Each structure stands twice: as structure tokens, then as C-alpha cells.
Chains A and B, each alone.
Chain A
Amino acid sequence: NAGVTQTPKFRILKIGQSMTLQCTQDMNHNYMYWYRQDPGMGLKLIYYSVGAGITDKGEVPNGYNVSRSTTEDFPLRLELAAPSQTSVYFCASRNQGGGNTIYFGEGSWLTVV
């Protein structure tokens, strides 16, 4: 049972570099989400998608971009990385008709120096 898979698990970026966090789910879920968690804080929604080709901003979208070309994949792109983007990133998904439970990946630890 793979569920929601995120890569990479750890990454160090230099200020101004760009990178993509990969997320894939094998549960055929319509909804996918990207959250970030800063120390001592709850999870903040960055972007979400209700299906292939449809994405929308969450609470903290600045500095990020997403795409949803397939049901399975929902990559998160960081352009011009800044120290404020040092965080733990979680991808999540849920089924439209399967209740309100969302399932998380294991997280990606990103440090921008």
C-alpha cells in the first residue's frame, strides 16, 4: 500500500535556487493538497487541486507553483528559494466521495541556506 509518496525526503537549497517536490498517489483520489508545517505551527495549505487540470491557491501560495496534469501526480515547484521557505512539506489526498479523511505523505524536509 504505497498511498501518498513524496520525494525527496530531505533537501538543502541555496537562496535563489529552484526545485520541485514530487507527489504521487495511487488511490485514484480526486483531491490533492500541499501543506507546509513550520516549527510549533499547524499545517498551512499552500495549493490544492480538485482534479486533473484544476488547481487553486490556499492560505500561503506565494513563492510556489503547482500543476496537475494527471490524477496521480501533484508536483510543487519552488521558484527562487528563500530562507522563509525552510519548512516541512506534506502532500495529501482524499477521495471526493470517500468522506472527509485526507491521507498524508511522509513529508519533505527542505532547508534554504
Chain B
Amino acid sequence: DQQVKQNSPSLSVQEGRISILNCDYTNSMFDYFLWYKKYPAEGPTFLISISSIKDKNEDGRFTVFLNKSAKHLSLHIVPSQPGDSAVYFCAAVSGTYKYIFGTGTRLKVLA
């Protein structure tokens, strides 16, 4: 049972445009959500997070939106840059240790 789903395995966006990466979850007990970025042959690196008591968190070009009623979160990258090309994982947290990761979306930003 996939509790955290990223239904788009890949996404291509022109440089300068907005990238929108989506994530759906099924467990209403999740209380914290994170986005990680992963380059080939490297470990995932933390990008941005949001608590379930908020609906938006912004950090520079990156904004995460949380819609609890729809059990959906999204990551917006504006403007997209070629260096943003990577695999993006969303993760949901329940309790102290339970981090559930999605399968990832490969973003390609075209110059």
C-alpha cells in the first residue's frame, strides 16, 4: 500500500518557467512533509518542508503548498533553472521515526 504517491515519474520544463511537482498521500495522521532533491550518485538533500498546521511555506524560488482536505502537496519552483534538474522526493512524517517517501519525480529543466 503506497501511502505517499508521486504519480508523475518525469517532468520537463523550459528554463525560466514554473515547475510544479505533485505528491498525494493517504494517511491523515501525517503531520509533517518534506521535499528532497537528489542528483545522480549522491544522497538526497533536504529542500523544503511544511507542517500540517500550515498551508504554504516559501524559501526563495521554492514554495510548498499543502491541501489537507485533498491530501495533496505540491512543490513550485519559480523560475526553473537547469541546475534544478534532479529527482525530487516528497516524504511524509508520522511520529518520531516513520518517514514515508514517494517514488520520486525526475525533473528536467531545458535550457
Contacts and interface: CB of A to CB of B under 8 A. Distances in A.
B104 A42 contact: yes
B103 to A, nearest CB: 5
A106 B42 contact: yes
Nearest to A56: B97
Interface of B is mostly: strand
Interface size range of chain A in the complex: 20 to 34
B108 to A, nearest CB: 16
Interface in B45-102: 45-46, 49, 89, 93, 96-102
Q: Does more than half of chain A's interface fall in helix, strand or loop, or is it mixed? A: strand
Contacts of B42: 106-107
Interface stretch (A14-22, A43-51, A72-80): A43-51
Contacts, number: 53
Interface residues of B, number: 23
Contacts of B9: 40
Contact of B89 (A42, A48, A96, A106): A42
Interface string A7-40: 0000000000000000000000001010100001
A84 interface: no
Interface of A: 4, 31, 33, 35, 40-45, 48, 50, 56, 90, 92, 96, 99-107
